[in-house]
Structure 1
Amino acid sequence: MTCKYERFFIDVLNLKSVNEAPTKQHEIYFNEINKFTKHLLILTPQQVIDYLSLDKLYTQSDLELMEENKILFSVTQTSEKSNPGYPAFQFDAGVVRPVIARILKILDGDYKNWDLAFWFNSFNYDLDMSLIDALDTIPLEQILKEVDKEKNPYQ
């Protein structure tokens, strides 16, 4: 059973064009999801399992557990049912980037699904780039400092 939040993404993914959007919110998410997927790769669960299974055999259950433990995250991927897709920027050198888990723990569920993907891809003025771009160019501690500052702006 899908929750109302997931159902919204499924409805957006079922749209064939922005002109079919029943609300402004559907239109916004339709445009953002399309923009995201044109520039960033979304992996299927099987692709992630194959990628991670270089040193140990992973299963769909392992991926679900990793999500529960905030090691990685998924987005609603298909319009048919709520199959997960995994933004590829989370992975490097056959593993989930450790910084992803640290960021997800700082955020503590503030964002999820596509909202989390958009948050990672949004421009951070202090870093002068998105967090996705920063993962390959900015020192880890600086990235975590910015995430913490965004989470707790008045500390």
Structure 2
Amino acid sequence: MAEPDLIMARIGQGVELGQRGERAAARSLFAKIWDEIGLTGDALHRCALAHSMADVQDDVREELMWDLRALEAADSLTDERVWQAGVSGSVRGFYPSLHLNLGEAYRKLGDLERARHHLERGWAAVGVLADDGYGQMVKGGLDRLAERLRMI
């Protein structure tokens, strides 16, 4: 059995803080972890942390910066590393959510061309998701983003 990944556990604690509405506390914890792993640390840690950090930002420009970091880290991840961490599926399963978040951030910033680009990339990647709660949540998010973009 693999050793528990303490960084992923701490990121999970930050996610829980954010879900409880303690966004500032989550940002603080994520910032401490980011200082430890940095721009060149483990790609899985960078991806998970940046993806989670984006969700607790109050400024959409900061959200976008973290979403872009998450995508960059995902691009250097391997399925083997994902499986070592006990995550089911493959790296490809990360992309629908990453592109959804990027599309939404660009939409909020009024960059509709980039928003549509990431919506298309999210839809192109969505086939890897299972038809479970997570897959339905991401697909629903892509549907809502598409509707918001049609209304503009």
TM-score, structure 2 length as denominator?
A: 0.27
TM-score, structure 1 length as denominator?
A: 0.26
Higher strand fraction: Structure 1 or Structure 2?
A: 1
Q: Structure with the greater relative contact order (CA < 8 A, sep ≥ 6): 1 or 2?
A: 1
Higher helix fraction: Structure 1 or Structure 2?
A: 2
